[in-house]
Structure 1
Amino acid sequence: MKIDWASLGSVFGVSLTATVALVALFTLGLVGLSKHEAATERGGAAVMARSGAYACFALCTAAVSYGIYLIVA
């Protein structure tokens, strides 16, 4: 049995990058929602913060759905 270390390293690198990007995107969504709540408490309207948060969550959902698609297909 022979292990292809280059391929294993490549898979590890892509997995790590995708994980960090997905967590960062979800965190940006949470920050956008908190900014929206803070702005509404002060009487302002933060439509862009809420829209950006929803866009981040939609991208997270799309990335997870694509990953599930790749596993199943």
Structure 2
Amino acid sequence: MDIEWGTLGGVFGVSLGITIVVVVMFSLGIAARARAAGEPRPARALPRRGRERWAMAVSAVCFAACLAVAGYGIDLIIPG
């Protein structure tokens, strides 16, 4: 049995890179979701609906990207 170290290193590098990207995307999604929830404002403050909607859209895109990566990984693992 012979181990192809170059291939093993490539798989390790790609796995590490994708893991970092998914963790960062998930963290950004959580941060955007928290911003969309907003903080308590005084009654006289101007509404910030545009910013809250933008933050909600960003969080949805981040979570959808994480779900897509997880789905692709499951598709690779389960035989067709």
TM-score, scaled relative to structure 2: 0.83
**1:49 equivalent in alignment to 2:71:** no
How many aligned residue pairs are there? 72
Superposition misfits of 4+ residues, deviation over 4 angstroms: none
Letter in 2 for 1:37: A
1:1-73 counterparts in 2 under 5 A?
Answer: 1-38=1-38, 41-42=40-41, 43-45=47-49, 46-73=52-79
Task: Please give the root-mean-square deviation of Cα atoms over the aligned residues, in Å.
Answer: 1.2
Match in the other structure for 2:44: none
For structure 2, the 5+ residue unaligned runs are 42-46
SS of residue matched to 2:3 = coil
The alpha-carbon deviation at position 38 of structure 1 amounts to 2.2
Q: Choose between structure 1 and 2 for higher RCO, CA contacts under 8 A separated by at least 6 residues.
A: 2
Gapped runs of 5+ residues in structure 1? Answer: none
Percent identity over paired residues: 39
Structure ranking higher in helix proportion:
1
TM-score norm. by structure 1 comes to 0.90
